[in-house]
């Protein structure tokens, strides 16, 4: 679920008004996540949009904001921890992610962190996230942030791709590579699977709903898979259904493909 354009404008306006009358402050926590935007679980996003509350963090030496419609926080913000987007002061993406560690579960926090490192227009880097984690040793949720940081990967295209990767790891299967290009024997580019086991020539593609509604994209996906299969690759496709009620069958299919290509689980 993502905010509609008019909802973004409304949220930006509220954020601008609140920070405008509150010196040395920044929009933070889930409000900041919505404005960057970072993916949040659908239920949490709906709750945050429906309650009309704005999270505002002031520097630690100043009192917490106490105003109707505001959830006030205090933190030792440095100048680099605040960014201005469309005139709104927001906590930086990496600072916001650490704040989310006190709120989100593992898979949701991985998805939010992967979004910071997206293939297109990344908002941050692993080094920047690590620096903020190291600088906030006592903040609520820091143990979760430290545990999740090694699970983040660069180049993920969507939150559901992150969830697919976590499902695979939870099943005790080897971790696949994320968005690495595949070339043919002559060095020509063929495809960039969402996930892949290069050693076993297995590609995993997550098909979002937009793939089904765009006939051009759908046709390109078919051609992409055909090119890989012609090179001897196994191509497995996943959707929202496979990640939910269809996961047991999907796990068996993936496990079977790996075994077929020579993978053996550790004894």
Give percent of the chain above pLDDT 90. 70
Task: Specify whether the CB–CB gap between 163 and 243 falls below 8 A.
Answer: yes
Helix (H) or strand (E) holding 221: helix 215-230
Question: Which class is 159-260 in CATH?
Answer: alpha beta
Place of tokens 């005790």: 172
**pLDDT confidence tier of residue 103, bands split at 50, 70 and 90:** very high
Task: Specify whether the CB–CB gap between 152 and 133 falls below 8 A.
Answer: no
Q: Which of 196, 207, 201 is nearest to 184 (CA)?
A: 201
- The mean pLDDT of 234-238, rounded to a whole number, is 95
pLDDT of residue 70: 87
Residues 213-226 have pLDDT tens digits of 667 777 888 888 99
Parts of the chain belonging to CATH 3.40.960.10: 159-260
- Is the pLDDT at 244 greater than 90? The verdict is no
If you average pLDDT over every residue of the chain, what do you get? 90
pLDDT of residue 3: 45
- Is the pLDDT at 26 greater than 90? The verdict is yes
The upper half-sphere exposure of residue 251, i.e. CA atoms within 13 Å in the direction of its Cβ, equals 17
pLDDT of residue 11: 81
Helix (H, G, I), strand (E, B) or coil at 135: helix
Sequence-distant (6+) residues with CB within 8 A of 227 are 190, 191
- The mean pLDDT of 92-118, rounded to a whole number, is 98
- The mean pLDDT of 147-160, rounded to a whole number, is 96
- The mean pLDDT of 201-229, rounded to a whole number, is 82
Cα angle: 90, vertex 34, 120; to 5 degrees:
90
- Is the pLDDT at 82 greater than 50? The verdict is yes
Task: Specify whether the CB–CB gap between 55 and 71 falls below 8 A.
Answer: yes
**pLDDT confidence tier of residue 7, bands split at 50, 70 and 90:** very low
- Is the pLDDT at 1 greater than 50? The verdict is no
- The mean pLDDT of 150-168, rounded to a whole number, is 96
DSSP bridge partners of 196: 177, 203
- Is the pLDDT at 5 greater than 50? The verdict is no
């Amino acid at each position: 679920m993502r905010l509609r354009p008019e909802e973004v404008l409304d949220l930006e306006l509220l954020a601008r008004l609140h920070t405008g009358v509150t010196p040395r402050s920044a929009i933070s926590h889930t409000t900041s996540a919505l404005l960057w935007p970072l993916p949040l679980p659908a239920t949490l996003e709906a709750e945050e949009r429906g309650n009309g509350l704005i999270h505002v963090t002031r520097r630690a030496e100043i009192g917490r904001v106490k105003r109707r419609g505001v959830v006030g926080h205090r933190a030792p913000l440095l100048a680099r921890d605040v960014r201005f987007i469309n005139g709104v002061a927001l906590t930086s993406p990496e600072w916001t992610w650490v704040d989310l560690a006190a709120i989100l579960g593992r898979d949701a926090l991985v998805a939010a962190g992967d979004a910071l490192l997206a293939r297109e227009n990344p908002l941050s880097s692993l080094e920047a996230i690590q620096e903020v984690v190291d600088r906030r040793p006592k903040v609520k949720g820091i143990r979760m942030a430290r545990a999740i940081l090694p699970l983040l990967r660069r180049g993920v295209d969507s939150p559901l791709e992150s969830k697919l990767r976590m499902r695979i790891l939870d099943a005790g299967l080897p971790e696949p590579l994320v968005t690495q290009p595949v070339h043919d024997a002559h060095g020509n580019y063929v495809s960039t699977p969402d996930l892949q086991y290069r050693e076993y020539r297995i590609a995993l593609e997550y098909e979002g709903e937009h793939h089904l509604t765009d006939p051009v994209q759908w046709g390109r996906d078919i051609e992409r898979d055909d090119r890989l299969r012609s090179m001897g690759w196994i191509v497995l496709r996943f959707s929202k259904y496979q990640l939910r009620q269809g996961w047991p069958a999907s796990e068996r299919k993936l496990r079977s493909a790996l075994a077929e290509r020579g993978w053996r689980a550790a004894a």
